[in-house]
Chain A
Amino acid sequence: MSRPKIARKSTFIDMTAMCDVAFLLLSFFMLATKFKPDEPVVVVTPASISKVILPDADIMLITVDAKGRVFFSIDNKSIRKSLIENVDEWKGLGLSDAEMYQFSIGSSIGAPFNQLKGYLAATPEARAAYDKTTAGVPTDTSVTNPDNELAMWIRSARNNNPKLRICIKADGEASYPSIQKIISTLAGWKIFKFNLITNLKAVPPGTYASQPAETAAK
């Protein structure tokens, strides 16, 4: 008995098409996304229906976590450099060039002025550990209070770049007084217009805000 011959098929699969797809997707992701900014604390922002997109440049970011700790940051590296130079001179912190460089490439600062030197001299791991336990930048409702260090940060930053747009990114669980301190600090510097960073939520149907969209659809 002769067995019918089974044709031996090659197991080779042409990978060219697959490769094309992979690199197409890769180029899409590279162009359409941007790197996640480095953040010292996890913040869950509340949702709103606002669709205004945060501008790319000239941002001053005040982060408030669930416990009400305040972190301060601005975006531009060269402005960060001149900011830390001004603050160093003003408060007499005695920072070295290396420490100032660490500030300019770093992210949000949650250390009070008297701990800033030690914070900037530390390793990135030690800084991450510090951010978990720090009490944040000291704030107060009055800008004339010498303990209101956030007010001094805001003032120096705005001296360096008057175009800075102020954004508050706070956790939904943060208590109102901690936010109120920031708002009254801003009011003390005559800033009455600022942005709150929120997640996007759908506009509830049947309300005023949903009406223009509905009529446009018809």
Chain B
Amino acid sequence: MAEIDTSGGGGHKKGGVKKAKKLSTRVDLTPMVDLGFLLITFFIFTTTMSKPKTMEINMPFKDENMKKEEQSKVKESTALTLLLSKDHRVYYYEGIGSDATNPPKVEIAYFKNPGGIRDVIIDKKAKVDALVRSGALQATDKTTVLIKPDFNSTYEDFVNIIDEMSINGIQVYAVVDISPVDKEFIALTEAANAGK
């Protein structure tokens, strides 16, 4: 194939003596190489190299028969509530927003960095650590993050926020259904910001 016959083909006519032709043991491997690379191309296109990565998630245990006393209580001072909303916004406030007479200050953050939701989580963690050091909280108290995705948030927001938990080393967090009160917080904050 790659070899060009340069002998002209008339070499045997001159000689009178007939010699046994010595056959070359050389095999042209070019088609074999072609085949090899063809198969490599096939394997590259039809297979995957890396196994899919997964994120393990534990949802809070939910049971209708569970007694009120058995349910875990979250302390106001260790809690941070994150409300995921439309356009990848995160509304957040400290505490769990259970006190109706004293509504929490709701603010907006985004996933961008720096100055995004990560800084909010780091700040909260530092605050709780300081409270533990000063003795206001016990050493067993940890920063607790409540994640409440609203209906207009996307799956990407959900994964991003859970990922932020592992990035920032938040060990205690829970994904909870959004409550009407929290929806009201979002609406109020939106109305307050619309005027600006």
Contact = CB atoms under 8 A, between A and B. Distances in A.
Which of under 10, 10 to 19, 20 to 34, or 35 or more describes the interface residues of B? 35 or more
B54 A180 contact: no
Contacts, number: 177
Contacts of A32: 49
A22 B37 contact: yes
Given A50-B53, A197-B53, A176 B157 contact: yes
A62 interface: no
Interface of A: 8, 10-16, 18-19, 22-23, 25-26, 29-30, 32-36, 46-54, 64, 167, 169-180, 183, 186-187, 192-200, 203-204, 207-209
A208 B36 contact: no
Contact of B163 (A12, A16, A50, A53): A50
A22 B36 contact: yes
Interface of B: 2-4, 6, 28-30, 32-33, 36-37, 39-40, 43-44, 46-62, 84, 113, 118, 122, 149-160, 162-163, 166-169, 175, 177
Given A26-B39, A207-B167, A35 B46 contact: yes
Among all A-B residue pairs, the 7 with the closest Cβ atoms: A22-B36, A172-B156, A208-B169, A15-B29, A33-B47, A195-B54, A50-B55
A55 B62 CA distance: 27
Given A22-B40, A23-B36, A50-B55, A34 B47 contact: yes
Contact of A49 (B32, B118, B166): B166
B163 A48 contact: yes
Q: At the interface, is chain B mostly helix, strand, loop or mixed? A: mixed
B159 A196 contact: yes
Contacts of A203: 167
Contacts of A167: 54
A25 B40 contact: yes
Given A173-B154, A183-B59, A187-B59, A53 B51 contact: yes
